Structure 1
Amino acid sequence: MQIYFHETLDPVRALGAHSRYLDQLGEIVHREGNAEGSAGGELIAMWIPIFLTGHWPQMVSFWQGPGSWAGFGAHFDSHQDLFHKPLERWYGERSGGFDRVLVGTDYTPTREALIGRGQRAPVVLHQTIRLKPGGGAGYLARLGEARQAIGTAYGFSLLGAYEVAFRNGGEVILVWSFPNVLALTRAESRPEDFPEWAAWIRQSREHEQDHVGVVMRPTAWSFVK
């Protein structure tokens, strides 16, 4: 199973700080692949919430980790610093953040597959969903069946589905790709126009305990955008 890293980053509330951070990080990931001392991942996308739909200013970076759990363990056993080296570099541009380790489902395409097929995701609906402990596996299995029915016929599709590690199987993150905000708002306001999508929404409500959706756009230097 493929491991992913999900970071929610809070920029410093200062003029130009968020832009400086994005510019510097974009240069680093395209020149070096990752910042020295980081978790060994490869960037998939950096998303910025559309400010009316979530906490702002904020950034969400999404990385594919170094393989499976074995790669995760090997990386952190060989990097035992309490604070990784890039931290001080960013003190002027970000005030903190919140990280998650994600486990991809077997139907979630890897970074290589997404890039190889030229996957487009100009607008994403990012959903953080809480379930009863242990409910994640069954929920994601049901979604795997629903995603086939939804397909791509409507112009939007599931980009990836992930169980959040260290949450006792009680949290998942879903990322849906939309061609534009208008298509997303139609799916949100008129789900009956998309029968398979509406059926999944009805089914998902039977199992969810909390559900937060945020609309986001990728930076120009994201690898999937």
Structure 2
Amino acid sequence: MTSENTKVYTHEFIDIRGSNRANYVHHMTANWSPIAQEERDQLCYGVWGVIGTTGRWPQVVNMWEEDGFDGLAAGLEHETKSATFQDPKLAKWWEEAATYRSGGLDRVIVPTPWSPTISQLCADGIRGDVYTHEMVKVPRGTARDFLEIVAAEAVPVFEPFGWKLIGAFRTALADDSECILLWAIESMQAWAELEKAATFGGSVERWRKRLFEVSESNGRFLMRDAPLAPLRLGRQPSRADRHEGWADL
């Protein structure tokens, strides 16, 4: 039984320039995450590359674990109080990051109390060979209720296929109508088996019908985590993981 999760998370969709996805994910995990840990108490929850056949490409999904809204506020204050709206000390980091990405879209998301933190996931040895990112639109004001339905009704259906729900979130700063589910899947074939059952009828059909009742739309795509992502390493990225030229930061 995990303790209640009181963190909040920064969730980012990042559009990559050309063939720079590998460069970008290394820059985020090895060069940024150690700074974030030391200066902002911000932990890397995950950095994934979207598998293009199933979603937008070339795209990366980043998630950062903040110490509640107080921790997020402190981090935003630290980041944006200068005239450039960026931490001047990180000018070199921003300059390199800009060569790898063209833009993105961020949101603040709030976990269910029973969602494990990244430290709990690493301690338990949880990881997937592949991950599924699912976004669900629900009627306004019902996001909390929907996530409890997922725990009670979807998880028992998905787990026998080798899918584990590692995070269930609702989007903040909005009208409580958007949810994000993250599933760790034991293999690509395990993903295929569930999708077949959902598409052609079978044990997943009951959940599909229930999903249509309680949501307005949904969609999911596949991701693989970066080489230095916490769920792959079993720990947070460290300064020792940095490439040459960043050891002095």
TM-score by length of 2: 0.79
Q: How many pairs are equivalent?
A: 218
1:30-109 to structure 2, matched below 5 A, reads: 32-34=34-36, 40-65=41-66, 67-79=67-79, 80-81=81-82, 82-84=85-87, 85=90, 86-109=93-116
Task: Select 1:26's aligned residue among 20, 24, 29.
Answer: 29
User: Deviation of residue 214 (structure 1)?
Assistant: 0.7
Kept in 2, the 8 Å contact 1:20–1:93? The answer is yes
Q: Deviations over 1:125-180 (max 9, x none)?
A: 11111122112111112112125534744322211100011121010100111111
| 1:177 maps to 2:152 | no
Segments of structure 2 that go 5 or more residues without pairing to the other structure are 1-5, 233-249
Alignment partners' CA distance in 1, 2:108 and 2:160: 31
Query: Percent of counterpart pairs with the same letter?
Result: 23
Alignment partners' CA distance in 2, 1:129 and 1:200: 14
Q: 1:44 to 1:78 in 2, by over 3 A?
A: closer
Task: Select 1:220's aligned residue among 223, 227, 244.
Answer: 227
The one-letter code matched in structure 2 to 1:9 is I
SS at match of 2:218: strand
User: Deviation of residue 181 (structure 1)?
Assistant: 1.5
Kept in 1, the 8 Å contact 2:50–2:60? The answer is yes
| 1:9 maps to 2:23 | no
| 1:131 maps to 2:132 | no
Kept in 2, the 8 Å contact 1:131–1:210? The answer is yes
Q: 1:76 to 1:150 in 2, by over 3 A?
A: same
Following TM superposition, the consecutive aligned residue runs of length 4 or more in structure 1 with deviations greater than 4 angstroms are none
Q: Which has the higher helix share?
A: 2
Kept in 1, the 8 Å contact 2:161–2:193? The answer is no
User: Deviation of residue 201 (structure 1)?
Assistant: 2.5
Q: 1:22 to 1:171 in 2, by over 3 A?
A: same
Alignment partners' CA distance in 2, 1:36 and 1:21: 21
SS at match of 2:10: strand
Please give the root-mean-square deviation of Cα atoms over the aligned residues, in Å. 2.3
